[in-house]
Structure 1
Amino acid sequence: MATISNTNPVMVTETSSLTVQKVDSEASMRWLNAGIKDFKASLGASFTYGMIYVALGLVLAWLSWANPMFITSLAAGFLIIGPIVAVGFYCMSRTLEQDGKPHFLQGLDGLRFNGVSLVNFAMVLGVLMGVWAVISAVTVALFFDNVTVTDSALGTLIGHEQFAPFLFAWILGGALVAVVAFSISVISVPLITDKKVDFVTAMITSVKTVRMNPGVMLSWAFILATLVFLGFIFGFVGLAITLPIAGHASWHAYRELIKAN
């Protein structure tokens, strides 16, 4: 059974162990640069893979165009489920690491290798997505219960006297969910796709990694959020570039933060 000791080793199976590493302050930029390099090296497969999520985002945005708050919640949701979305990019980066040629269907490799843990962890992130949806809906209801929308929903909300306290509460709720999601997932999915670990061990390892490298992981979270934001402000289309870069870079973060003994 997996255990974690005070000397940093994380026992994954009876025959292997991992060690959580402490990294320097420049690590996040190394990971980003490595992600850009991998994106260029697997341009066709990575871009095509990214376009699937662009199409999905555009469909969801079109369906919710009349509700701008749903669109902002959707953007936050991408941050929460991002690690699962990026499974294909992790597998591509691992292939490049082994001097192989990445291909479009490599997302299936992670599912075949450790599918049970991957699905279980996806369910955990799904619960967090549900929690965020409830928090968002409750916050809107608390502050705008008696608001009558006349022209535009966004214009009505921004012009309302409760908008500033609402925005503060909404951002605070989203930040709390994001911190939890990031802490349990930043290392979990790359680890699950690379080693035969259960999803609970992967989450504990991820939290331990964040705790050991708070400054670096804060800057890494900011970089990932920025990449997703840049993808969204260009009408979702930018995600075809920024999402693959984030995914490839996250693989390199995992490889530097977790070492096999």
Structure 2
Amino acid sequence: MPNRFTEQALRESRSFGVRRIPALRPLGWLARGWHDLMACPLPGLLHGLVLAGFGALLFWKARHQFWWLAGAFSGFLLVAPVLATGLYAVSRAIERGERADLHTVIDAWVPRDHRLVTFGLLLALAGTGWVLTSAALITGALPGQVNRPADFIRLVVLADHGLLFEAWLALGALLAAPVFASSVMTLPLLMDSRVGVLGAVFTSWRAVLEHPVPMALWAMLVLLLTGLGMATAMLGLVIVLPWLAHASWHAYSDLLQASALSRK
């Protein structure tokens, strides 16, 4: 039986209607996100520079310690969307025909409640859980130790026998899917409404479950663009991260229709 807290979250989630969208709509989100980045580039580029620089610093500090590196990057990739919350506010302002600049970003971060921080901590815990589970799988199945990224590539990725790498990828996908479903719409929804964290998560799950094909495409696009950004020695993330943040706002705005009582 659901408790009172869960029932309240379900009622909050039901105050949002989920619009039907075609399978290729995520491509439109990218196009609109790019438009926002070009219309107001300074906040996005500053976010991208800071986040890409932090990612490069993590890689440099932990390049010889594989599990610390994996944990740092997992946490970084999960928490980075929280740090880009101000860019959702920029896209919202552009969408409403309002002025959008650095003040828009700063106003979005004025501490009014702790919902974004709470959700960011939950995402960080999810990243930690993935690293611990991944480490248990690899270290339990291998006779040798994986201490450096080179060890992982040699003993797991390039191993000529067994299915450890395939099992590792499958486990990652299994754990990533619920995290994606829980977070894909939650951050812009928390910024744009008075809904609680659990109510926002339930709404995000509804959007994903009612649109499995377009949301799977969106997940692949996010993964591909992030991977390309990281493959360019993090330089590509300067553009990719704010681009995806703006596009994420349009995913939220396109999918969800809130009641007047739920919006700020």
TM-score (norm 2): 0.85
Displacement of 1:168 in angstroms is 1.4
Report the CA distance shift for 1:116/1:142 in structure 2 as closer, same or farther (over 3 A).
same
Aligned partner of 1:14 in structure 2 is: none
- Alpha-carbon distance, 1:101 to partner: 3.3
Q: Using a 3 Å threshold, how does the CA distance of structure 1 residues 205 and 121 change in structure 2: closer, same or farther?
A: same
Aligned residue in 2 for 1:21: 19
Q: Aligned AA for 2:222?
A: L
Q: 1:38 matched to which residue of 2? A: 36
CA distance in 2, matches of 1:169, 1:34: 37
Per-residue CA shift, 1:184-240, capped at 9, x if unaligned? 011111000000111000000000110111111000111111111111000111101
Provide the secondary structure at the position in 2 that maps to 1:112. Answer: coil
Task: Tell me how many residue pairs correspond in the alignment.
Answer: 252
Deviation string, structure 1 residues 80-136 (Cα, Å, up to 9, x no partner): 334313212111111212223333364443443753211111121121011111012
One-letter amino acid of the counterpart of residue 83, structure 1: P
Task: Classify the secondary structure of the residue corresponding to 1:235.
Answer: coil
What is the distance in 2 between the residues matched to 1:227 and 1:172? 21
RMSD: 2.7
Partner of residue 96, structure 1: 94
Residues 77, 238 of structure 1: alpha-carbon distance in 2 compared, 3 angstrom cutoff: same
Q: Is this contact kept in 1: 2:115–2:196, CA < 8 A? A: yes
The equivalent residue for 1:182 is 180
Alignment partners' CA distance in 2, 1:142 and 1:240: 37
C-alpha deviation, 1:148, in angstroms: 8.3
In the alignment, the residues of structure 1 paired with residue 204 and residue 117 of structure 2 have an alpha-carbon distance, to the nearest angstrom, of 17
Structure 1: unaligned runs, 5 residues or longer: 12-16
Counterpart of 1:96, as a letter, is: I
Matched ranges for 1:250-261 at <5 A: 250-261=248-259
Superposition misfits of 4+ residues, deviation over 6 angstroms = 148-151
Question: How do residues 90-239 of structure 1 correspond to structure 2 at under 5 angstroms?
Answer: 90-104=88-102, 106-112=104-110, 115-147=113-145, 152-154=150-152, 156-157=154-155, 158=157, 160-161=159-160, 165-239=163-237
Out of 68, 78, 81, which is 1:80 matched to?
Answer: 78
Pair 1:246 & 2:244 matched: yes
- Answer with 186-195 or 91-100: which moved more: 91-100
Q: Is the 8 A contact 1:92 1:106 kept in 2?
A: yes
Quick one: structure 1 residues 247 and 150, their matched pair in 2 at CA, closer, same or farther if it must change by over 3 Å? closer
Question: Which residue of structure 1 lines up, in the alignment, with residue 57 of structure 2?
Answer: 59
Is structure 2 residue 13 aligned with structure 1 residue 10?
Answer: yes
Q: Structure 1 residues 201 and 144, CA, compared in 2 at 3 Å: closer, same or farther?
A: same
User: Structure 1's 216 and 151: CA in aligned 2 closer, same or farther, altered over 3 A?
Assistant: closer
SS at match of 2:246: helix
Kindly provide the amino acid, as one letter, of the partner of residue 241 in structure 1: I
> Structure 2 regions of 5+ residues with no counterpart?
1-6, 260-264
Distance 1:114 1:198 in 2: 13
Q: Is the 8 A contact 1:90 1:247 kept in 2?
A: yes
- The alignment's TM-score, normalised by the length of structure 1, stands at 0.86
CA–CA separation in structure 2 for the residues paired with 1:227 and 1:148: 28
Q: Partners in 2 of 1:107 and 1:129 — Cα distance?
A: 26
Name which of structure 1's ranges 123-132 and 197-206 shifts more when overlaid on structure 2.
Answer: 123-132
2 CA distance for matches of 1:186 and 1:149?
33
